[in-house]
Structure 1
C-alpha cells in the first residue's frame, strides 16, 4: 500500500491564503481533519492527505482556482464524487484537490431535442430521475450510479450494464464545457450530431482530469423502453458460459444488457440481496431485452433458444418489473457484497475480445492457485469488460502485495489475448505500470504530446494515467511478463 508523503505546512499556508483571497471561506479546506475525507477515492489502498481542498460554487470560482494554481505552480487533482476505482482522484502532497460537488445544477432538460444540460456535480441517476416525467432517461448506468457524478463519468468514460446496446459515456455526451489550466473556457462538441473541426470531444472524454475540468455537460437522453425482461441462464462451467456470450452476439442479437457472474460472486451476492441466483451453477448470465412488448417477447425467445443450444442447464425469465430489478440487484451490488466473505477486495478492470472470455477465466483460475487468493468474477460479458474481485486480508502481511501482483497479471493476460488494461475504471494511479506493457515508447510519446497541447506545465492530475519512460524503465527492471521485458531498451540504462 502507498505511503503518504508529508505536507509542507508553510507551502500549505501560502496556497490556502492565496485561494481564500478570491474564494469564500467555505470553499477552501486546509485543516488536516477537514481534508482527510478527500485522501482517497474508491481505491482506498492508496491514500494521501491533500495539501488543500477547494469546493467552488461556480465556474468563475473554478477559473480563479486554476489561475492561482497556475501562477503558484501548484498541481491540481480534479475530483467528482470519489467513487472511482483506479486512484484517479488520489491527492498530491503539494497539490490542490478541486471538487466539483457543489456544481450540481440541472440546467435544463429538453424533451424535444432529447438532451439534458447539467453541471459536473449532478449524480448520474439524478439525470434519469429528472427526465423520467418526460418518458426519457440517461442510458449509461455504472454500478455506482446512485452516487457517481457526470463529471467523473466523463473523466473515466464510464459504462454500466446497459453499455452493450446503448454505449459508454462517449456515445451519450454531445457537448462539454471545459475550464483549462490557462483559465479559459473551451466548448467541445455541440448540440448537433457532429461539430466542425477536430473531434476533441472524444479525446477529452476518458482523459481522467489531465486535460481540463468539466463545468457543464450536454447528454443525450433516450426514450424509456415500454417493456424490459431479463433471462437468467445457468451453466455448469465457465467455459460454456463464456462461449454462450459469443453465441448470443453471433446470432445477431444485441441485448440491452449481457452480464456474467461466476459461482464465487453468485454465492457472495445471493445472501445479501436474495435475487434468486442459482448458487450451484459455475456461472450465470443475465441477458436483458428491452423495447415494445412484442419486440421483447421475440428477443427473449430468440435468446432462450441460443442459450439452450449453447449449453445452459437452467433458464429463468423475469415475469414482472420487480423480478427484473431483483435479478439486476445482485449484479449491481456485487462489490459491496464482497465484504460478506472477505475483509478486503481489489477490483480490477480490463477488456478482452468476447471470444477469449473462456480462456481468460481459466487463466484467472490458475492465478488463484498461484497467488493463494480467491477471485470473484463479475463483468460486462457482452463487451468483454472484466471486473475480477481479488479477495484478500490487508491485516495479513504480504496479502495486498500478492493481490496487486495478481491484478497486474490479469491485466497482462488481457493484453496478451488482444485486449486492453482498462474498460471503464481508467488507469489512474493503479494501472500506470501496466501501461508500460500495453503501449510502446512511440505511443506514450504521442499521449504526452496531447497532454502538452492542453497542459504544457503538467499541472492537471500529474503522475496519473500516462507513465514516464523512466518509470517504464524501472518497471522493466522489476517485471518480466510472458517472457517479455517491458521497455527492455530503456531498462538496460
Structure 2
C-alpha cells in the first residue's frame, strides 16, 4: 500500500513539475492573461459537448493572433507536450477533450471577420468567428453562409472545419467542405500553409479536402475563406405527417427519386416531436408516428411549383396530413423545433447520448426498425431526429447517469447502432466526427491497411504525434482488444485483425 501511495505522489509531483515548466515557457511568448493553469480556471475546458468524457487539462492557452498560435506550437514541440485544439466546445464526439499532461489551444480569441467581399461572394474569417455571425455580417449584402449546424449560434468556423459540419440545409447546399475555398493553417513544425485558394481549384494535391474533417490532428486553423450565397427571395416549409415511420422513410426516397432536391429534408419520430413541442411550440403534429420537414427556396414562382410537386409526392407516399408555412415567422418556427431537439431532450430525460451515423437513404426504414428493437434490448428510449435527405442519423439515446449501469448500456446501444450503419453500407459518422466517442467503432469500419494509411497521413503532417493524439484513428492493438470484447455466437468479430 505504501508503494502505491508513493507512486501516486510521484506522479502528482511529476505532473506539477511539468505544468510549471510549460507555464514558464509559455509566459515567455504569451501574456499572462492568455494562460490558464489553476484548476478552477481550466475546469470549463474539461470536456466538449460530449460531457460524459472529462479530463482536466494541464494548461489552457488563449492566443489572439497567428503569431501567438505559432509560439504555443513551438513551446509544445520543444517540450514534447501534446496539444488539443478547441473551438467553442460544442462538438459531440469528445474531439476537444483534453489530455492530462497536455495543452489546450483555444482559438476563441481569433474572432475577427477579416474581410467580406460582396462581389466575389466570399468572407475571410478567423477560426473563432461564430457560424451564425458570418451570415449576420453578410445579411446587408443579401448573402449568407449556408452550412447551419443546430449549434450555429455558438459553434465556430474553426470547429466546423475540423468536423466538416453540416446542418439542416446541407442536402442542397453541402457540408463545410463544399463551402470553404481556402484554409490557412499552422503546422506543428511552425510553418504557415495555405490550402486551396480563391479560385474553384488550386494547383497540386487536394490537401484542403484532406484537412477539412481532420479533427485537429493535422494543424491549427488560423484563417478560413468561405463562400457566401444569395439569400433566397422566398422559402417555405412543408410539415408532412405519417402514421407509420416506414411511410416517412419511403417518402424521403420518393422525393429524391422524383428529381426533387429540397433545401432541407429532416425527419423526426413521435418521441422527438413530443419532447420538442412543449419546449418551443413549433406547431408539430404530435399524433403522427413521424413528421418530415421539407423546405423549398428560390423565387416565388419556383417555390410555389416545388411546394406543389413535393406535396403530391408526399401524399402519394402516405402522408396523412400536410401543412405548409404561410409566413416567414411560421417557417422559422417549424425549423426551431428541429434545431432545438437536443436541448429539448432534457425535458424528458436526465441525460442523453447523441449518436451520428450515415446510411444509404433506401435503408432508412430498416435501420430505424433495428433501433426500435435495440430500445427493447437495452431497456432505453431513443428519440430519432435526423437529416433524412442525407441519410445522416442522430439517434438520441435517453438515459439516467445516476443509475449505475445506464450509461454503459447507452454506450453499447450506440455502438450497435453504428455497427448496423456499417452493415447496411453506411459509415459511423456524418458530421460529428470520431473523436474518442467512436474510436472503437472505427475498428468495425476499416481494415488494418486503411488505418495504417490514415496514420501515414497523420505522420506526414505531424511526425511527432503531438496534435490531438489518441483521437479518431485507433491503433491495431486497440482494434484487436475491441474485437476480443465482442463475441457473438461464439465467434470473434474482425477476424482479419492481428491478435496481440
Interval of TM-score (by shorter of Structure 1 and Structure 2): over 0.9
Give the structure 2 partner of residue 488 of structure 1.
Answer: 495
What root-mean-square deviation, in Å, do the aligned CA atoms of Structure 1 and Structure 2 show?
Answer: 1.1
Equivalent position SS for 2:393? strand
Once residues 124 and 323 of structure 2 are traced to their aligned partners in structure 1, the CA distance between those partners, rounded to angstroms, is 39
Once residues 498 and 214 of structure 2 are traced to their aligned partners in structure 1, the CA distance between those partners, rounded to angstroms, is 28
1:453 and 2:460 matched: yes
The answer on whether the counterparts of 1:441 and 1:487 sit within 8 Å (CA) in structure 2 is no
Structure 1 segments unaligned to the other structure (5+ residues): none
1:158 and 2:165 matched: yes
Residue 21 of structure 1: how far off its partner (Å):
1.2
Runs of 4+ in 1 over 6 A off after TM superposition: 481-484
Deviation by residue 1:255-287 (Cα, 9 ceiling, x = unmatched): 000000000000000000011101010000000
Matches within 5 A, 1:277-356: 277-356=284-363
Matches within 5 A, 1:72-471: 72-471=79-478
The answer on whether the counterparts of 2:357 and 2:430 sit within 8 Å (CA) in structure 1 is yes
1:49 and 2:52 matched: no
Residue 365 of structure 1: how far off its partner (Å):
0.1
Equivalent position SS for 1:462? coil
Deviation by residue 1:87-133 (Cα, 9 ceiling, x = unmatched): 00000001000000000000011001000000000000000000000
Equivalent position SS for 2:394? strand
1:29 and 2:36 matched: yes
Residue 202 of structure 1: how far off its partner (Å):
0.3
Residue 484 of structure 1: how far off its partner (Å):
6.6
Give the structure 1 partner of residue 24 of structure 2.
Answer: 17
Deviation by residue 1:285-338 (Cα, 9 ceiling, x = unmatched): 000000000000000000000000000000000000000000001000000000
The answer on whether the counterparts of 1:210 and 1:461 sit within 8 Å (CA) in structure 2 is yes
Once residues 391 and 483 of structure 1 are traced to their aligned partners in structure 2, the CA distance between those partners, rounded to angstroms, is 30
Residue 492 of structure 1: how far off its partner (Å):
3.7
Residue 490 of structure 1: how far off its partner (Å):
4.0
Once residues 159 and 267 of structure 1 are traced to their aligned partners in structure 2, the CA distance between those partners, rounded to angstroms, is 25
Equivalent position SS for 1:53? strand
Once residues 389 and 489 of structure 2 are traced to their aligned partners in structure 1, the CA distance between those partners, rounded to angstroms, is 27
Once residues 176 and 389 of structure 1 are traced to their aligned partners in structure 2, the CA distance between those partners, rounded to angstroms, is 33
Aligned pair in 2 of structure 1 residues 445, 492: CA closer, same or farther (>3 Å)? Answer: closer
Give the structure 2 partner of residue 478 of structure 1.
Answer: 485
Once residues 493 and 42 of structure 2 are traced to their aligned partners in structure 1, the CA distance between those partners, rounded to angstroms, is 38
Aligned pair in 2 of structure 1 residues 450, 33: CA closer, same or farther (>3 Å)? Answer: same
Deviation by residue 1:354-387 (Cα, 9 ceiling, x = unmatched): 0000000000000000000000000000000000
Once residues 102 and 121 of structure 1 are traced to their aligned partners in structure 2, the CA distance between those partners, rounded to angstroms, is 6
Equivalent position SS for 1:261? strand
Aligned pair in 2 of structure 1 residues 44, 358: CA closer, same or farther (>3 Å)? Answer: same
Residue 479 of structure 1: how far off its partner (Å):
1.3
Q: TM-score, normalised by structure 2?
A: 0.97
Residue 8 of structure 1: how far off its partner (Å):
1.1
Name the count of aligned residue pairs.
Answer: 489
Give the structure 1 partner of residue 7 of structure 2.
Answer: none
